[in-house]
Amino acid sequence: MAVDTSRVEKLRKKQINGQSMKRLVEAGMTWLRTNQQTVNALNVFPVPDGDTGTNMVLTMQSAWNEVKDLGYRSISDMANAVSKGALMGARGNSGVILSQLWRGFARGVQGKDVMDGPTFAKAFAEARDTAYRGVVRPVEGTILTVAREVAEATEAGLKSTQDAIDILEIAVKAADESVQKTPDLLPVLKQAGVVDSGGKGFFFILEGMLRHVYGESLETPLMSVQPISSMQLNSAMEDVEEGQDYEVVVDFMPANNFELQKFYGRLEEMGTSIQVGEGEGMYRMHIHVPLEKRYEPIDYIMGIGTITKVAMENLLAQMDDIEKSKAARISFAPVEPGQIAVVVVSPGAGLSRIFASLGVAAVVEGGQTMNPSTQDILNSFENFPTDKVIILPNNKNIILAANQAKEVTVKQVAVVPSRTVPQGLAAMLSLQPDGDLDSVAEKMIKALSAVKTGEITVATRTVEIDGVNVKEGQVIALLDGKLVASASSVEKGCLQLLEKAKADEHELITLFYGQEMPHAEANRIADVIRDKYSDQEIEVQEGGQPHYQFIISVE
């Protein structure tokens, strides 16, 4: 970094109070958002739904929304508010752990008006301790390790300095070094050729704070381009800003002198929700722009390369269609006082309808591509006329947020730790609305082991994991979260998956087809499976989930 030394010296003479901390929080959030796609791309499995960066950004955004208008001068008061905002906005495992780090940080500065070096180091230590306590089985080589090594480094740093900015510099250096070592601690990271995504996100937050101190830009990313197949263009609709009327997507082959940083910087002058992907010499650019600028990205790219495809959509019309679809699609059975109400997380409209038919009281939209927040889950049941609630997360990355929702409500809540949609559906068959909450939850938990879950998607990068060689663009199959096969077609991927699942030893195979899988093609593949598994019952259901051509239940 090019450091503005005069600025830094001025800041050293000032005390870090509540308002100073607010600016650091904003800087950390901004720098993380700038590098959000870099974090998202650090998936262990080469699947197109990396969302760690998105989850951490949305968690930080919730923290920022809580404090942006507050005038607290006390570091203690401001840290408590940051902690509250992060807790309610926490999404995914990385977001929940980040919220725990902020909770511990707030404990470390409790009762303090300003933050000097020793207080800063104590806050990092409390953050580490709180985050570790919040995870039942802590895994090294993750964001927890990075938090621990930052705490250790800053505590050791007090031997040579008492200055808060010095401590922040030590923290950033320690976080960077710790992230680089994560593959040595977690073998699956080394297999995948990536560092830990949550740890990297935590590093970007700390580095953003330091860049603010140094007077460095927080808007130009240190980008590593994501694969085209992992670009989350559907989730970009979640962030449509006022005045951004059109979505523009351009595929192009750049000239030899193409500079990514310059390209990204120019796009920032045109619009928002910028994504850049790369694959086999081709680039894809996605951006939201005002009406009068809708042709500007196209004209610009024509001057730096050869355009092969252009797509343009009216965002307001798209959003209107989405809202109409949401409003019309599902009705739920009423919940009576004293009954058990079940809340499920569902990644697709078809799956939501199936859950509704089985008696759930509410559906929280989300899954692999968009983990709901603690607040989202809490809002889904707080107004029920009953105090008995069961939550089915249906995703391993949502279980922690569900548990946080359980902790912050006065209702009796049981979290049944379903890790997949088929597990959630199997659990719903054990629902007895008028039964005892603990007994029903226990039956649901037992039902989770009665089903195997398969997922079919397309690989976003070339890698070898668990002995399976995968090339970018190939169909891949996951069985109960483990990569088990790669194939040249969806049909072959399904057949390999079912063989690995020993489907011939089971009774029922259900195919839930995704939003990008035509109904006719889903039925054709189902017929192929029927020919091979003539003794099993084969069902086909609309799932509507993004990115995954099929979610498959074997029971």
pTM for the complete prediction? 0.81
* One CATH from 1.10.260, 1.10.3470, 2.60.40, 3.30.1180 for 453-554: 3.30.1180
Phi then psi for residue 288, to 5 deg, are: -105, 130
The topology under which CATH files domain 226-321 is: Alpha-Beta Plaits (3.30.70)
User: What distance in Å separates the CA atoms of residue 219 and residue 298, rounded to the nearest whole number?
Assistant: 22
Instruction: Give the pLDDT score at 483.
Output: 93
519 three-state secondary structure: helix
Fold matches, 226-321 and 329-450? no
User: What distance in Å separates the CA atoms of residue 279 and residue 250, rounded to the nearest whole number?
Assistant: 13
10-residue mean pLDDT profile of the chain (555 residues): values are 68 82 95 88 76 91 94 96 96 94 97 95 97 90 96 96 94 97 92 91 97 86 59 51 78 88 86 80 87 91 92 74 54 88 93 93 84 93 94 94 94 96 96 94 96 93 86 92 94 96 96 93 96 95 93 96
Instruction: Give the pLDDT score at 327.
Output: 44
Q: Using the CB atoms, write b or e for 342-360: b if 16+ within 10 Å.
A: bbbbbbbbbbbbbbbebbb
The topology under which CATH files domain 5-214 is: 1.25.40
Instruction: Give the pLDDT score at 228.
Output: 60
User: What distance in Å separates the CA atoms of residue 95 and residue 397, rounded to the nearest whole number?
Assistant: 10
Do 497 and 479 touch, CB atoms closer than 8 A?
A: yes
Instruction: Give the pLDDT score at 136.
Output: 81
Starting at the earlier edge strand, list the strands of the sheet with 482-487.
482-487, 475-479, 452-458, 550-554, 508-513, 537-542
Q: Which two tokens stand for residue 277?
A: 């992907």
Q: Which two tokens stand for residue 104?
A: 């511990």
Domain 329-450 has CATH 3.40.50.510: yes
Residue type at 250? Answer: V
Instruction: Give the pLDDT score at 264.
Output: 83
Domain edges within the chain = 5-214, 226-321, 329-450, 453-554
Instruction: Give the pLDDT score at 330.
Output: 75
Residues whose CB is less than 8 angstroms from the CB of residue 156 and which lie 6 or more positions away in sequence, other chains included: none
Rg (CA), the chain: 24
Q: Count CB atoms within 10 A of the CB of residue 321.
A: 10
Q: Which two tokens stand for residue 264?
A: 């990204």
Do 269 and 259 touch, CB atoms closer than 8 A?
A: no
